[in-house]
């Protein structure tokens, strides 16, 4: 069997395509950044809501309503410059034999710790400057061991690391040193497993359940406290099957922003902000409805900054003869002027050439308010340094790197 890997890069979304005989799975890395938001006068739309255990606020059709994105419209193109969005910091992650990062496995950043994790090295803890502190690996089959690391979140207030094993449908809790505290079942199994988890408050975790369910579960025993299911139709997903061939993409449908969650469910025309106070408010809406189009176009959240909100669409379309599809378009909403644009590029001015970048990459990252994080590959940085493409602090950092070193974190302190 021949396996071919192709990477398609967009300004916001990275799509990894792995093609096999009669099987074409596609993994969309729609990554998560924690960024602050802002308010502006925006176009208006009514939002259809449903009854559930999470309250949904209905938008009123009057000035000050939510912005409306037409996914069939051609908007003016816009290029953003990274340094105009915020101050950029580069943090090299120290490399040790027991703490080897494979790529973008950063999960947590605050003013004290940087935490990464993978199945080979387990949980890897660094200080804020990237210096290696310690690691622990509890992978195994024992009662205090995880089967695999599907996701991770850390609460610095209680010093608790929560590790989700999607295969075992369990969550394991440790302190920052790796001492076991407890474990519990998520309550979601089979095709409806918990896929991502986040800290919601001091008593609950926030969980994303395949494919359109968002739930709050107890941090003690995993019992569901509240949930909302947006699955209105079995076809509200990106799975395509034809003549024994199939293509699929699994995409995150939320980001964490300013302590809240921005949700874009497959089966909804509305993007919501979900607040810890258990109120879900419309953020943007799209036209035409995803339910009224022959070939659905789905929206996914990208990043939210004080000035801009970036989202992107994926069309449910795959050419089995050409082995390509799922065309994507990136959009940026300028909150100051209440205007949508097609996002053409994000350029890092610390590159003399080829400064194209994305603020979103890889795994979910829990970062302080008004920050975004991107993992930078050291092999590419070393090559860019040798070719004279870097300048400023990035050039200085790259001059000390080896190609097989752990990655460099690009941390953007977003301007308000």
Is the pLDDT reported for residue 277 higher than 90?
Answer: no
Question: Hey, which residues does 315 pair with through a beta bridge?
Answer: 297
Q: How far apart are CA 29 and CA 262, in angstroms?
A: 17
pLDDT in tens, 367-393: 888 888 999 999 999 999 999 999 999
State pLDDT tens for residues 104-146: 799 999 999 999 999 999 999 999 999 999 999 999 999 999 9
pLDDT tens column, 199-234: 999 999 999 998 678 999 999 999 999 998 887 665
Which residues are within 8 A (CB) of 142 and not within 5 positions of it... i.e. 6 or more apart? none
- 6 three-class SS: strand
Cα–Cα distance for residue pair 365/199, rounded to 1 Å: 12
Q: Does the pTM of the predicted model rise above 0.95?
A: no
Q: What is the phi-psi region of residue 354: left when phi exceeds 0, alpha when psi lies from -120 to 50, beta otherwise? A: left
| 10-37: burial string, b at 16+ Cβ within 10 Å, e else | bbbbbbebebeeeebebebbbbbbbbbb
- Cis bond before residue 211 (omega within 30° of 0): yes
Domains of the chain and CATH, by start: 4-414 (2.120.10.30)
Would you say the C-alpha torsion 58, 238, 257, 370 has a positive or negative sign?
negative
Task: Give the E-state strand segments of 144-201 in sequence order.
Answer: 151-155, 160-165, 170-174, 180-185, 194-199
303, 374 contact by CB (below 8 A):
no
């Amino acid at each position: 069997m021949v396996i071919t890997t192709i990477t398609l890069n967009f300004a916001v979304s990275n799509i990894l395509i792995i093609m096999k005989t009669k099987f074409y799975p596609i993994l969309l890395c729609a990554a998560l950044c924690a960024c602050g938001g802002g308010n502006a006068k925006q176009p208006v739309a009514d939002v259809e809501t449903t009854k559930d255990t999470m309250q949904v606020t209905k938008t009123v059709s009057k000035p000050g309503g939510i912005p409306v994105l037409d996914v069939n419209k051609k908007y003016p193109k816009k290029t953003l410059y990274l340094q105009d969005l915020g101050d950029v910091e580069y943090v090299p992650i120290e490399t040790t034999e027991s703490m080897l990062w494979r790529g973008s496995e950063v999960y947590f950043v605050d003013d004290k710790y940087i935490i990464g994790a993978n199945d080979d090295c387990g949980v890897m803890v660094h200080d804020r400057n990237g210096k290696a502190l310690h690691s622990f690996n509890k992978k195994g089959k024992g009662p205090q061991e995880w089967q695999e690391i599907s996701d991770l979140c850390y609460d610095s207030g209680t010093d608790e690391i929560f590790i989700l094993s999607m295969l075992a449908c369990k969550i394991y809790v440790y302190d920052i040193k790796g001492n076991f505290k407890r474990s519990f079942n998520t309550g979601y199994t089979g095709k409806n497993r918990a896929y991502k988890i986040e800290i919601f408050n001091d008593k609950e975790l926030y969980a994303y359940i395949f494919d359109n369910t968002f739930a709050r579960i107890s941090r003690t025993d995993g019992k569901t406290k509240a949930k909302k299911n947006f699955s209105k139709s079995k076809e509200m997903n990106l799975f395509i099957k034809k003549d024994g061939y199939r293509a699929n993409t699994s995409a995150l449908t939320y980001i964490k922003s300013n302590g809240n969650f921005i949700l874009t469910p497959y089966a909804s025309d509305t993007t919501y902000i979900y607040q810890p106070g258990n109120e879900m408010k419309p953020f943007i809406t799209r036209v035409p409805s995803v339910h009224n189009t022959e070939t659905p176009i789905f929206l996914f959240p990208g990043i939210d900054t004080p000035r801009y909100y970036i989202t992107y669409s994926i069309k449910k379309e795959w050419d089995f003869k050409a082995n390509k599809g799922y065309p994507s378009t990136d959009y940026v909403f300028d909150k100051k002027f209440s205007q949508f644009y097609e996002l053409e590029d994000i350029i890092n001015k610390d590159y003399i050439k080829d400064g194209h970048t994305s603020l979103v990459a890889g795994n979910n990252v829990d970062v302080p308010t008004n920050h975004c994080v991107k993992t930078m590959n050291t092999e590419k940085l070393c090559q860019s340094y040798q070719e004279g493409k870097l300048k400023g602090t990035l050039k200085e950092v790259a001059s000390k790197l080896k190609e097989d070193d752990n990655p460099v974190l690009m941390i953007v302190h977003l301007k308000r």
